[in-house]
Amino acid sequence: MRRRRLLARLGTVGAAGLAGCVLGSDETPTQAGSDGTPSDDADADDRTEGETDQTDRSNDTDDEAETGDTDDGTELDWPSEPYADYRTTELAIHSDAPTDPTVLAAIADTSQTRYRGLSDAAALPDGAGMLFVFARERENLTFVMREMDFGIDIVYADADGVITRIHHAPAPGPDENGNQQQYPGAGKYVLEVPRFWTSRNLVETGDRMIFEL
């Protein structure tokens, strides 16, 4: 957090995407919206600027954020501020582990929430994550680590939830803003979890995410 404020004072905060945000896509730059996400007809519902996206989404449901449990039975404090109002889903991954590992994932399904990503989080508890949802499957996505204070795994999955690529992304250095840490992939869903969570839980490409939106 201290590094982020320092970088902002130095004027290094530019127009690139935040952590968990699309930096590039299969669209040409002239077709990209102001936040870097493509503005084609398939994503028309994701193009609203400013606060409208988040306001409209929050009116879709009166449910409060779910609360999950950790492996030792204690309550998982996620999503917490500033993500406390995010919808969540209990996501399981069919893998070679003795039991399917699960994540309580906050859902980022608008251009605004995808752009924000996890860059405002001070930490991410084990067993917690963020699921980025796109309107359609995309062939050329790139996530960056801008303003992140901790490392994460970035997990790409196709429209069927099948994992296509996994990155283990470290936190930016003390004098870095993370824009140069670019992690490409393809898919309709991207899951962000604590760094090396996938390794600890034997999650690999070809495994499948199971969740409800």
pLDDT along the chain (213 residues), means of 10: 39 40 40 31 38 32 42 71 95 89 97 95 95 96 95 98 98 92 97 96 96 96
Give the pLDDT of residue 146.
92
User: Considering its fold, how many domains does the chain have in total?
Assistant: 1
Q: Which domain does 196 fall in, by range?
A: 2-40+69-210
pLDDT value for 151: 97
Amino acid 19: pLDDT: 57
Residue 54 placed within a domain: no
pLDDT score for 64: 38
Residue 7: its pLDDT value, please?
A: 37
pLDDT for residue 188: 98
pLDDT score, position 69? 53
Residue 120's contacts (CB-CB under 8 Å, 6 or more residues apart) are 82, 83
Give the pLDDT confidence score for residue 4 in this predicted structure: 41
- Is 62 contained in some domain? no
* Residue 142 within any structural domain of the chain: yes
* Structural domain includes residue 56: no
Report yes or no on 51 lying in a domain. no
The verdict on residue 139 lying in a domain is yes
Cα(186)–Cα(88) distance, integer angstroms: 23
Instruction: Look up the CATH number of the domain holding residue 130.
Output: 2.60.120.1140
Confidence (pTM):
0.70
Please indicate, yes or no, if residue 120 is contained in any of the structural domains.
Answer: yes
pLDDT score of 16: 38
Instruction: Give the whole-angstrom CA distance, residue 208 versus residue 93.
Output: 5
The answer to whether position 53 is within a domain reads no
